[in-house]
Structure 1
Amino acid sequence: MTEKVASPFVAKMIGDWYGFIKKQDILKAQTMRNEIVKAFENMEEDQNVLLYFNLIDARYKMLAQEFEGSKALLKQIEIEEKQKTDDMIQYYYFFFNGMYEFYKKRFSDAINYYHIAETRLRNVPDDLERAEFNYQLSIAYYEIAQNHFSINHAKKALESFKSADLQESRVATTLMVIASNKMDLNQFVQAESTYKDAINLAAASNLDLPQALGYLNLGICYERQGKLQQALNSFQNVLSIELKKPHKTLHMRTKYMLARVLFQLDKTAQGLDAYNESLMLANELSDIAYNAKLNIIHSIYVTDDEAQLDAALNVLKTQKLWTDAAELSIMAARFYKKQDNHKLASKYFDDGLESQAKKLSWMEEIE
């Protein structure tokens, strides 16, 4: 007769598994999950441990980019069942729901979930969990252009990650959040320097994905300043890094930015190659926002199609992606200004200013 595995032992395995997930070590997390599933076959019955597993599995699926599978797991957890559990389980429930909302680009909803989670986090004695929470809150605030809130939470996360062992990946990604905020505040020298610090740390620690993300963000920073050749080099650096596990979203984003820069450099044929690759991935990932962004740059630089451009901008506005809508409207305005089409230049400058003003309404949606 097979000896039963004690549920506290499996709970400890799940805790170790979550540690790999937080470090974004997808290969070790995948291996650990397989070991836990095998242990479940002989585990003594314990509903709390099963609930704990389902919650962490929902987080694992986000790391593995299986977002809809993650949401399906979260939906299985009944409110009544969750309320009978301790603060840690409730914290994970609200925190991971917030992360899913963030993925769906419903940033205000994500922050509202995080605020509920925070009331349970006070009773979870884990500094790294607090760091993870502050990191996720910082990127959500960044997306709604609350730069100072974002920097504040990122610095809290950075302090904790730096004081912990083997957290170089999280230090690097948190440095990028700070750099992105500096970029949005037009503090470009500080932004470039911080991105390079993150890239160097990732390279020294042999961390492929953070290094690639660093080059992507540095390229965006260069493009923002009109340093198009440096931006092009940076995006090509992203594509030159061999990832241990393919990352379709990163590839889609990089090819989109590459197309943007190539179009601006009047390298239309090369730009169309990058555009088509990004569009294929956007369709495969059902990414409505990137589909719209790709249509926008195609409408500006290739087809000069005002109706298509307006329709794609309206998709971003419907999704309340005001930062993207503002940036791309102003990009269109600058293009038409160079073409001496003052009517369209004026139209899209006004459109961009209107979207920038809409960003202020985001904070009103946060409870």
Structure 2
Amino acid sequence: MAKIIPSSDIGVKINKWYELIRRFDSEQAEQLKQEIRTSLDSMEEDQNLLLYFSLMEFRHEVMLDYLKPLKEGKLRANFSELSKEIDEHQTHVTGMLEYYYHFFRGMYEFGRREYIAAISSYQKAEHKLSFVSDDIERAEFHFKMSEIYYHMKQTHISMHHAKLALDVYIQHELYALRTIQCEFIVAGNYDDMRRHEKALPHLERALARSRDFQNVRFIASSLFNMGNSYYRMGDLNRALDLMKESISLFDQNQSDHLRRSIDPLYTAAQILYKQGKNNEALYYREECMKRAEALQDDIHIQKTIFLEALYLRQDAEHIKRIFHFLESSYAYPDIEELALDTAKYYNEMEDYEKSSMFYGEAEHARIYIQRGDCLYEF
């Protein structure tokens, strides 16, 4: 008769597995995952522990989706199906498991760019944060909150959570990659506040640390974020060089899958159109579209169509339809940015009626961003 393994022993291993996941140690995490999976067959019956395993498997796949390039012909686990399986056991989720359920669900929704749904899940997790005593796990929560609020342009809330996370991560060398990510968010928030002189030191520090770790994924991301900062400062040539360097690293080193390279591709095309280099912009726009379609990333698809609608066809009605789609996805920060670009473009063309109309679109989006907290009341 096979020896029965106490569920408490497996619980300890799952905790260790999660520690490896949080440190992005994908190889050891995968080994331990397989070891735990084998042990489950000999475990005493414990539905809560099985649910804990399912939740951690979900989190493991989120890590892989972030870190690893997709191999040809290989698909990630179906997150929707896994989420549905967890939903079916919702009545058994209490305490720490309930925290993990909502926290990981928020990460999943964020990955799908469903930002409102992500915030809703994170806020539910926050109500269970009292069950979390581990400093690193609390830092993980604050990091994810800073990330989502940065994307929703809730700058000061994002900065608050980023500082809480960074204060913990800088004390633990094993979490250096999270420290770098916090630097990205702090810099992005400073850029949103138009304090670019405060953003660049964080990005330079992030780039230096990424090079110290020889982490190509983070080097490429650092270059993109620096390029984005120079772009917003109006230094288009410096920004374009950094975007091209970032794209080259993502592609040549296969350090990431398609999703990570979409942003520098899009921004490179945007810069080239602004410089009037339409022929050179075409490659980056088409490559961005190809990757966005492969990922079924509807927002980037629409943003890429926008480049053609504005810079090649000056089709104001099509641009308004794009904004209507983005509004249905609560992508107000994107609308604000694109509407301002459109307004400035028509202003330079001396079409002041259309310019005024799109300045109004930008102001409309800005009002929704400023009222953002109202969107999170469910």
| Common topology (TM > 0.5) | yes
8 A contact 2:154–2:372 mirrored in 1: no
Question: Does 2:51 match 1:51?
Answer: yes
Aligned to 1:197: 205
8 A contact 1:168–1:205 mirrored in 2: no
Task: Write the letter of the residue equivalent to 1:272.
Answer: L
- For residues 249 and 86 of structure 1, what CA distance do their matches in structure 2 show? 34
Cα offset, 1:118, TM superposition = 1.7
C-alpha distance 26-212 of structure 1, shift in aligned 2 (>3 A): farther
Aligned to 2:18: 18
- For residues 273 and 101 of structure 1, what CA distance do their matches in structure 2 show? 31
Aligned to 1:62: 62
Match of 2:312 among 294, 302, 314: 302
SS in 2 for 1:17: helix
TM-score, structure 1 length as denominator?
0.92
Match of 2:110 among 88, 102, 105: 102
For 1:121-160, what aligned pairs fall within 5 Å after superposition? 121-160=129-168
For 1:258-337, what aligned pairs fall within 5 Å after superposition? 258-337=268-347
**Offset from partner CA, 1:53-95 (integer Å, 9 cap, x none):** 111111222223378822321221246x444455211100111
8 A contact 2:216–2:255 mirrored in 1: no
C-alpha distance 282-135 of structure 1, shift in aligned 2 (>3 A): same
**Offset from partner CA, 1:9-53 (integer Å, 9 cap, x none):** 332332222222222344443343333333334444332221111
8 A contact 1:208–1:244 mirrored in 2: no
Question: Which structure would you say has the larger RCO, counting Cα contacts within 8 Å and 6 or more residues apart?
Answer: 2
C-alpha distance 43-127 of structure 1, shift in aligned 2 (>3 A): same
8 A contact 1:296–1:313 mirrored in 2: no
Task: Write the letter of the residue equivalent to 2:330.
Answer: K
**Offset from partner CA, 1:261-290 (integer Å, 9 cap, x none):** 122222222211111111111111111111
8 A contact 1:83–1:90 mirrored in 2: no
Identify the range of structure 1 (204-213 vs 1-10) with the bigger mean alpha-carbon deviation: 1-10
C-alpha distance 253-26 of structure 1, shift in aligned 2 (>3 A): farther
Cα offset, 1:345, TM superposition = 1.8
Question: Does 2:348 match 1:338?
Answer: yes
Aligned to 1:76: 85
C-alpha distance 67-342 of structure 1, shift in aligned 2 (>3 A): farther
8 A contact 2:150–2:158 mirrored in 1: yes
8 A contact 1:88–1:124 mirrored in 2: yes
C-alpha distance 271-68 of structure 1, shift in aligned 2 (>3 A): farther
Q: Report sequence identity in percent.
A: 27
Task: Write the letter of the residue equivalent to 2:63.
Answer: L
Aligned to 2:96: 88
Q: Which runs of 5+ in 1 are unaligned?
A: none
Identify the range of structure 1 (95-104 vs 174-183) with the bigger mean alpha-carbon deviation: 95-104
Aligned to 2:183: 175
TM-score, structure 2 length as denominator?
0.90
Identify the range of structure 1 (340-349 vs 227-236) with the bigger mean alpha-carbon deviation: 340-349
Task: Write the letter of the residue equivalent to 1:320.
Answer: Y
Task: Write the letter of the residue equivalent to 1:97.
Answer: R
SS in 2 for 1:246: coil
Q: Which runs of 5+ in 2 are unaligned?
A: 66-74
SS in 2 for 1:175: helix
- For residues 282 and 247 of structure 1, what CA distance do their matches in structure 2 show? 11
**Offset from partner CA, 1:116-151 (integer Å, 9 cap, x none):** 212222122211100000001111222222211111
C-alpha distance 124-284 of structure 1, shift in aligned 2 (>3 A): same
Question: Does 2:8 match 1:8?
Answer: yes
* Alignment size in residue pairs: 366
- For residues 94 and 71 of structure 1, what CA distance do their matches in structure 2 show? 14
Question: Does 2:218 match 1:210?
Answer: yes
